[in-house]
Amino acid sequence: MVVLSSSILLLNNSTVLNNIKNINDNAKMLSNNIFIMIYLTMLLIVTALPAVMVAIHCNPDNKALFGILAFLFSDVYLLQWAIKKFVLKRENYCKL
């Protein structure tokens, strides 16, 4: 979800397109892109970080693989975790 949201933001942002046209004006490019970078950072913190933390905690044998999966597909990972934990109520599944 993070990758999709970032792609949509970058493709639809007119300042990014203007920066490509004015690639030699570094000061203008930096000032236009600082807000985009802040948004992407906040998006990563809000969506991906909790999913990665849950994935690492719930899968101690294979932290790296599940951490990467949770980073790339954070919403899907948290959805399957919530279904297993709260809907199906699997016994001894990821004690928090």
56: in domain: yes
17: in domain: yes
pLDDT per residue as tens, the chain (96 positions): 667 677 766 766 676 677 677 677 677 667 767 777 887 788 788 888 999 999 999 988 999 999 999 999 988 999 999 999 899 988 888 887
CA angle 71, 75, 85 (to 5 degrees): 105
51: in domain: yes
27: in domain: yes
Show the tokens assigned to 45: 């913190």
- Round to whole Å and give the CA distance between 74 and 87: 19
95: in domain: no
Domain coverage including residue 77: 2-87
92: in domain: no
Q: How many domains does the chain have?
A: 1
43: in domain: yes
Which pTM does this prediction carry? 0.64
